[in-house]
C-alpha cells in the first residue's frame, strides 16, 4: 500500500474521531463504532461471516474498549434477496454508517467491486474506509490509531491498495 493512502486513512480516522465529539474529541465513556459490511447469507456468506467475526474477535481482545472509549463493531448484511451483495444493500450500508456520528471506520465488503460502490459514500462523510484486509487487521489498525491519540501519524501499512 502506498504511504499517501495510509496517511489519508489515518487522517480520515482522526477527523471521524473529532466529528460530532466537540473540539476536545470524543468524551470519556463515549462509544465509537466500526461498521463492517459483508454478505452474511447466500453463496458469499462464508467470506462475509469471516470478516465480521474477525472484526468482533479483535474488538473483544480489547474487552470492547480503547482507552476510556467503548468500542462496538456493527455488522451489516450486504446480501440482497439472491444471497449475493447488491448495489442497493452496499449503498444502504454505507449510508447507515455515514449517518452515525459515532462511526470511526467502515470495513468494506470482501468483493472489491462492492467496495467501489461504498467507497465514494463513505469518503464523502470523511469516515476511514478499510478494505482488502481481514477483520482482525482492520480493527487492530483502528484501535492502534485511537490509542496513539495522533491519527495524523501513519500506521503500519495494513490497508491493501485497491485498483
Give yes or no for a contact between 34 and 155, defined as CB atoms under 8 angstroms apart: no
Instruction: Indicate whether 151 pLDDT > 70.
Output: no
- 3-19+29-148 adopts what CATH topology? Rossmann fold (3.40.50)
Top-confidence range, 19-33, 93-107, 145-159: 93-107
Give yes or no for a contact between 70 and 28, defined as CB atoms under 8 angstroms apart: no
Choice among 18-32, 33-47, 48-62 with the minimum mean pLDDT: 18-32
pTM of the model: 0.79
Question: If pLDDT is split at 50, 70 and 90, which confidence band does 14 have?
Answer: low
Instruction: Indicate whether 121 pLDDT > 50.
Output: yes
Which stretch of DSSP H or E encloses residue 128? strand 128-130
- Backbone φ and ψ of 160, nearest 5°: -80, 140
Closest CA to 34 of 48, 18, 17: 17
Amino acid at each position: 500500500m502506498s504511504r499517501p493512502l495510509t496517511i489519508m486513512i489515518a487522517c480520515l480516522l482522526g477527523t471521524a474521531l473529532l466529528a460530532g465529539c466537540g473540539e476536545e474529541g470524543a468524551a470519556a465513556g463515549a462509544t465509537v463504532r466500526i461498521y463492517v459490511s459483508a454478505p452474511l447469507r447466500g453463496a458469499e456468506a462464508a467470506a462475509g461471516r469471516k470478516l465480521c467475526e474477525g472484526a468482533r474477535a479483535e474488538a473483544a481482545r480489547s474487552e470492547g474498549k480503547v482507552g476510556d472509549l467503548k468500542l462496538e463493531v456493527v455488522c451489516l448484511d450486504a446480501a440482497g434477496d439472491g444471497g449475493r451483495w447488491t448495489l442497493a444493500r452496499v449503498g444502504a450500508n454505507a449510508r447507515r454508517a455515514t449517518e452515525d456520528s459515532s462511526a470511526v471506520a467502515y470495513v468494506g465488503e470482501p468483493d472489491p467491486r462492492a467496495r467501489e460502490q461504498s467507497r465514494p459514500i463513505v469518503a464523502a462523510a470523511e469516515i476511514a474506509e478499510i478494505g482488502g484486509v481481514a477483520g482482525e487487521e482492520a480493527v487492530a489498525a483502528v484501535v492502534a490509531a485511537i490509542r496513539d491519540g495522533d491519527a495524523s501519524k501513519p500506521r503500519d501499512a495494513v490497508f491493501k491498495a485497491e485498483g
